[in-house]
Chain A
């Protein structure tokens, strides 16, 4: 079975862990438990008739306390860049991580997820702010780990893109 390593990248508390949890277990928890290190999960998917094992590297959020170690990105075939629609500053963090990824692993496919779409009334992120990133992403999607909206589709899209590249 083909294995593909995918990194979850984004600022802290944007919902990376929640998105993975939603994908794997279909569950969601309101309670915030910060991810201290790298969290590794697996998910098997069938994409375009191909069975695929996604190895998901949920990296802790990049902030003043912890910096993402570039070496963790090595070997990834794609990544998921997550932005929290209710927090502007997560756009900037996503931009930096995207650069780091480009430098470390080159132009592998990635999807840009604007998470917490269930809170769309509180959104402050507008599409022009992310236009640089969206131009390069193979998919831009508004998702919600809480409701599950768009989550599976995002992973499928990335898998497809990875298989093609």
Chain B
């Protein structure tokens, strides 16, 4: 042997505790290390060192691992990893156990590291401290970020609240910076402008807004005036395929920075639409329709208007005879003089006579003062004699003379007065038949039908129904303040197209108004329609079903208007005279109608 096994005392240089595992016991080899017995064993001096193994929870655990390792026959060593067990070894003492094998012999080496003995400790400590402080910095950052974020969210919330209030007031808001570039557009403003905000932000109004440049310039100029001199700028936006939007733009300084400007946009379209209606219900354009028959009517109106002759306008009830008359007047040289429509139905001889021709005080009972008739009032203008078929014969005679002589005599007077009036007559009855029956004077008929205009019933121009519906719909939703109703369901339009429309355009308008009043959603559904439109298949006016239905409808209308016939007639879409006739025909008694 080149050398003998060194004396086990040699091992003492490692200051380790070395055990040899035999059967069930641990025998220690060589000298005991300087740290033995550890604090936990000091009281039990005579304790064999092997007992240490039993006292250490960690070693007990490790020996299981070591046992497996020894059995596995693996080479090298099996280390426990560092551990401390203050109760046994004292504070700040770190140990490590290593299992090794020499031939068939099994050893456990127990090493102890003092606090200064562990190079790994400060390294780990430093690395982890750095990581911690880094984490802390990140956390701090995130906290500040979160705080700023929530502050931002809060101010955004506040801004949203303000916007909601403005939107709720129907006010759109646009903000301009010192350069008059748009910096903000509220939701309501977007809605009012109907434009992509991206096209406006960062641009001036002239560059970006859908307004006419002149309007944009006026708004900008208003902003340059001192606050006290500023006025609201009206801006009307005409757009293809939709009704115009009328806005009022108020220009204000941003209270936080007077170089910036806030524009408040108010939608005044409804008011504007009403205003236009007030100004212009007498225009030619109020006739709606583009079917060939109506085109022909327009053309004829244009032709006839300028020829100063009487015109007979013939058409079913509700076809728009009065509108034609107004158009004739408007297009005639007489348009700067009055246009007066007179309904000849339902008036007694003397009443109608005095209405048309005037009377002298005392001419008849109740004539308490001198009265100028329509012929005189319409001097220079046009008189429409509506329902001329209902005119009593005596008046017909007088009228004929007026037309021939060009002068009237007030009732109770004998002195004729010159009148210069163009007479238009309208009828829904076939006058020739009335002549045959002897209730209408033939010579008067020839006199008033120098020019004739026939208005087609709606059922003969169904292609115009969508156009008419849209026109009335737009008008009525404004008038009724039902702006939330946006349109008509296709099924509704189908019913409109299928229905026979005995009351023609007036009935269509009334049906739409009825539907609008009943409509609770955004579109008009068939269930919103008046009952006679609810089942429109066998759409023949004379069907008993419709008749009874019409009776009910008239009664409903009367109930709704508390017996006021004129209003009820409007509701069901009939002229007053047709309405009265239907009352008789349908046997609606006085008491029934005022219930």
A interface list, Cβ under 8 A from B:
5, 12-13, 32-34, 36-42, 55, 61, 63, 65-66, 69, 71-72, 74-75, 86-87, 89, 122, 124
B369 CB contacts on chain A under 8 angstroms: none
Contact call A65/B61, Cβ cutoff below 8 A: no
Considering the chains assembled together, what is the distance between the CA atoms of A81 and B128 in angstroms?
Answer: 20
Contact call B132/A38, Cβ cutoff below 8 A: no
Chain B nearest CB from A18 CB (Å) reads 14
Considering the chains assembled together, what is the distance between the CA atoms of A34 and B121 in angstroms?
Answer: 8
B125 CB contacts on chain A under 8 angstroms: 32-34
Contact stretch, chosen from B84-92, B305-313, B328-336: B84-92
Contact call B61/A13, Cβ cutoff below 8 A: no
Secondary structure of the A contact surface, majority rule:
loop
Closest chain A residue to B87, Cβ basis: A42
| B450 touches A (CB below 8 Å) | no
Contact status of A32 and B81, CB under 8 A, knowing A40-B58, A87-B139, A124-B142:
no
Contact call B120/A40, Cβ cutoff below 8 A: no
Contact call A69/B139, Cβ cutoff below 8 A: no
B124 CB contacts on chain A under 8 angstroms: 34, 36, 65-66
A36 CB contacts on chain B under 8 angstroms: 82, 94, 118, 120-121, 124
Chain B nearest CB from A64 CB (Å) reads 8
B143 CB contacts on chain A under 8 angstroms: 122, 124
Contact call B61/A75, Cβ cutoff below 8 A: yes
Contact status of A40 and B139, CB under 8 A, knowing A33-B125, A34-B125:
no
Contact call A38/B121, Cβ cutoff below 8 A: no
Considering the chains assembled together, what is the distance between the CA atoms of A12 and B135 in angstroms?
Answer: 12
Chain B 115-130 interface mask (CB, 8 Å, partner A; 1/0): 0001011001101110
Contact call A38/B82, Cβ cutoff below 8 A: yes
How many residues on chain B are close to A (CB under 8 Å)?
A: 28
Chain B nearest CB from A131 CB (Å) reads 21
Closest chain A residue to B56, Cβ basis: A40
Contact call B83/A69, Cβ cutoff below 8 A: no
A74 CB contacts on chain B under 8 angstroms: 61, 64
Contact call A65/B82, Cβ cutoff below 8 A: no
Considering the chains assembled together, what is the distance between the CA atoms of A38 and B132 in angstroms?
Answer: 21
A75 CB contacts on chain B under 8 angstroms: 61
Considering the chains assembled together, what is the distance between the CA atoms of A36 and B96 in angstroms?
Answer: 12
Considering the chains assembled together, what is the distance between the CA atoms of A146 and B231 in angstroms?
Answer: 69
Contact call B87/A38, Cβ cutoff below 8 A: no
A63 CB contacts on chain B under 8 angstroms: 128, 131
| B65 touches A (CB below 8 Å) | yes
A-B contact pairs, 23 of them (CB 8 A): A12-B131, A13-B132, A32-B128, A34-B121, A34-B124, A36-B94, A36-B121, A36-B124, A37-B83, A38-B82, A39-B83, A39-B85, A40-B84, A40-B86, A40-B87, A41-B86, A41-B87, A42-B57, A65-B127, A65-B128, A72-B81, A89-B135, A124-B142
Chain A nearest CB from B498 CB (Å) reads 60
Chain A nearest CB from B556 CB (Å) reads 61
Considering the chains assembled together, what is the distance between the CA atoms of A46 and B273 in angstroms?
Answer: 89
Residue of A13, A37, A72 touching B128 (CB-CB under 8 A): A13
Residue of A5, A33, A37, A124 touching B81 (CB-CB under 8 A): A37
The 7 closest A-B pairs by CB, nearest first: A37-B82, A38-B83, A40-B85, A37-B83, A34-B125, A39-B84, A36-B121
Considering the chains assembled together, what is the distance between the CA atoms of A42 and B118 in angstroms?
Answer: 24
Contact call A37/B94, Cβ cutoff below 8 A: yes
B142 CB contacts on chain A under 8 angstroms: 124
B84 CB contacts on chain A under 8 angstroms: 37-40
B96 CB contacts on chain A under 8 angstroms: 37
Considering the chains assembled together, what is the distance between the CA atoms of A42 and B58 in angstroms?
Answer: 12
Considering the chains assembled together, what is the distance between the CA atoms of A124 and B124 in angstroms?
Answer: 26
Considering the chains assembled together, what is the distance between the CA atoms of A12 and B84 in angstroms?
Answer: 17
B83 CB contacts on chain A under 8 angstroms: 37-40
Considering the chains assembled together, what is the distance between the CA atoms of A11 and B28 in angstroms?
Answer: 38
